C-alpha cells in the first residue's frame, strides 16, 4: 500500500470504533475480531481524523498543540499502519 499524500483526508473505517479501556487505563481501537492498543499520541491522532481534516491539517494541529515540528513522518507511518489493516480509509 502506498503512503497517503498529505492532502488526503483520513477517517476511521465504519467497522472500527475508538473506545476507552477503563480497566487498563488506555485507548483501544476495536474492530471485528480484533483490537489495536493505542498510546496517547495514537489516540489523539485518531481523535483528529474527523473526515474533514487532511493529513497535513492533523500534523499542523498536533505541531501547534505541542509547539513541535517535524511530526509529519510519525503521523503518516501511524496512519499507514492502520491503513494496511483496513482500519483507516481516505476520502470524505
Partner 1 sequence: MDAKPLWLLAELTYKCPLQCPYCSNPLDFAGSRFKHELTTEEWSRVFREAQALGVLQLGLSGGEPLLRPDLESLVATAQRLGLYTSLITSAHRLTQDRLAALKRAGLDHVQISVQAADAELSDRIAGTRAYRDKLAAYHFAKELGFPLTVNVVLHRENLHQVEALIRLAESLGAERIELANTQFYGWAFHNRDALMPTKAQLDAAWQVVLRERARLGSRLEIVWVLPDYHEQFPKPCMGGWGRAYMTVTPAGEVWPCHAAGRITTLTFENVRDRSLEWIWHQSDAFNRFRGEAWMPEPCRSCARRTVDFGGCRCQAFLVAGDAALTDPVCSLAPHRHVIDAAVTQVERAAAARVEPTALTYRAAPASRALAAKG
Give the binding site for partner 1 (CB under 8 A).
1, 14-15, 17, 19-21, 23-24, 28, 30-33, 35, 84-86
Q: In angstroms, give the least distance from the CB of 24 to partner 1.
A: 7
Residues 6+ apart with CB under 8 A from 48: 57, 58, 61, 62
State in angstroms the smallest separation of the CB of 51 from partner 1: 15
Give least dist CB 29 to partner 1, A: 10
Considering the complex, state which of residue 36 and residue 60 has its C-beta at the smaller distance from partner 1.
Answer: 36
CA atoms of 13 and 89, how far apart (whole Å): 6
Which residues, at least 6 apart from 50, have a Cβ–Cβ distance to it below 8 Å?
Answer: 11
Amino acid at each position: 500500500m502506498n503512503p497517503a499524500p498529505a492532502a488526503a483526508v483520513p477517517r476511521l473505517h465504519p467497522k472500527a470504533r475508538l473506545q476507552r479501556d477503563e480497566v487498563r487505563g488506555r485507548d483501544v481501537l476495536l474492530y471485528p475480531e480484533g483490537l489495536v492498543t493505542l498510546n496517547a499520541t495514537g489516540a489523539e491522532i485518531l481523535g483528529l481524523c474527523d473526515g474533514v481534516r487532511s493529513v497535513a491539517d492533523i500534523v499542523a494541529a498536533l505541531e501547534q498543540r505541542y509547539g513541535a515540528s517535524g511530526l509529519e513522518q510519525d503521523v503518516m507511518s501511524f496512519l499507514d499502519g492502520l491503513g494496511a489493516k483496513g482500519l483507516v480509509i481516505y476520502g470524505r
